[in-house]
Amino acid sequence: MKYCAMKRRLAFLLAGLSGLLPGLLPAAEFDYALQARKVADGVYAFIGRTEDFTMENGGNIVNTGFIVAPAGLIVIDSGPSLRYGRQMRQSMTAQTGKSPVMLINTHHHPDHFLGNQAFADLPIGALPATVKGIAEEGNAFAENLFRLSGDWMKDTEVQVPNKTLAVGTSDIAGRRLRLIALDGHTGADLAVYDETSGVLFAGDLAFNRRAPTTPHADVTRWLAALDTLEAITREPGFTALVPGHGEVSRDAQPIRQTRAWLTWLQGALRRAAQAGQDMNEVLELPVAPDFAQWPQARSEYRRSVGHLFPAAEQGVLEGRY
């Protein structure tokens, strides 16, 4: 127990020292340079890079956003660190002259909730399973991001959501929002549809020209969730889709791209399992040409093999396919 604690403290120490290494930013310059992009009247998004976590980007690889409601700002996800959350909050208020009144976490992956501390004075809403996931896995996520992003993460601690959200259409801060409970990317994925503007915040159920991540994925359920989201994009009032990663879209293209990747990935892993290939062989298989040029395609494929191939092998053994 003492040895594990020492290892953890050493990891945090090394992460802090990383801010002093050549080529990295000094602490005074840890600026995410966040600029909200207008998606529709009263709806804005901060668009992150289509990269992995690095010491250079500080984890700014995620899309977050906010909706301007009569009573204040409704914030969608809080980013990867306390620094991000604080800078996000300052940017939103400076741009609109309004203060946030509520934060919504779409799911429990760290780039979407580790900025929650900056909103600790507000209701922070999430689905019940997301609250549970952040409470149980949040500290491990934070430790990992300290190792990957160094002093960008300074003072970041886990702030668990304090409000369980009810799904369906309701008035939030004077804005009519539809909260849609899905799953597949994780065990609980919340999509937020602003019925006033027709903007759909899809969270990480949709990626736009960026390979999807799969550490908690159930691909079959994810594909079903995408069908639900695509149906919303066919509604008369729909105007835009904000994916969890990648550019904002005016149509359902990110949903279709994500579906195409998942369908290919699921099929490739099942065929490899049926052929009796071992994991090392599967790791070396090529990414399909349609996706090979996407950012992080190769690295996310290899991660997905680790996440999903054992279940594909088990499915073959049990004769499910």
Average pLDDT over residues 81-95: 98
> In this predicted structure, what is the pLDDT of residue 321?
83
Domain 11-252, CATH = 3.60.15.10
| Tally of CB atoms within 10 A around 283 | 15
Q: Across residues 230-251, what is the average pLDDT? A: 98
Adjacent-strand bridge partners of 249: 241
Lowest-pLDDT range, 10-19, 34-43, 73-82?
A: 10-19
Whether 22 shows a pLDDT value over 70: the answer reads no
Residue 134 reports pLDDT greater than 60: yes
pLDDT average, residue stretch 222-248: 98
Q: How confident is the model at residue 319 (pLDDT cuts 50, 70, 90)?
A: confident
**What mean pLDDT comes out for the span 134-162?**
96
**6 pLDDT above the threshold of 60:** no
Model confidence band, residue 17 (pLDDT cutoffs 50, 70, 90) = very low
Which pLDDT score, from 0 to 100, does residue 51 have? 95
Domain locations in the chain as residue ranges: 11-252
Q: Name the one residue in this structure whose structure tokens are 């901060």.
A: 46
Per-residue model confidence (pLDDT) at position 20: 34
pLDDT band at 320 (very low <50, low <70, confident <90, very high): confident
- C-alpha separations of 159 from 122, 233, 313 in Å: 11, 33, 38
Buried b (16+ CB within 10 A) or exposed e, 102-131: bbbbbbbbbbbbbbbbbbeebebbbbebbb
- pLDDT, residue 11, reads 41
Q: What is the mean pLDDT of residues 230-254?
A: 98
Query: Residue 273: which H helix or E strand, with range?
Result: helix 253-274
Mean pLDDT of 76-95: 98
State pLDDT tens for residues 103-125.
999 999 999 999 999 999 999 99
Least confident of 171-175, 210-214, 309-313, 314-318: 314-318
- pLDDT at residue 3 in the model: 35
Q: Are 242 and 201 in contact (CB under 8 A)?
A: yes
**Statement: residue 25 has pLDDT above 60:** no
Average pLDDT over every residue of 42-71: 97
Per-state percent for the chain, helix, strand, coil, to nearest 5: 40, 20, 40
Q: Which amino acid is at 175?
A: R
Q: Is the pLDDT of residue 27 over 70?
A: no
Rounded alpha-carbon distances, angstroms, from residue 126 to 30, 77, 129, 181, 253 = 29, 10, 8, 10, 26
DSSP annotation of 209 reads S
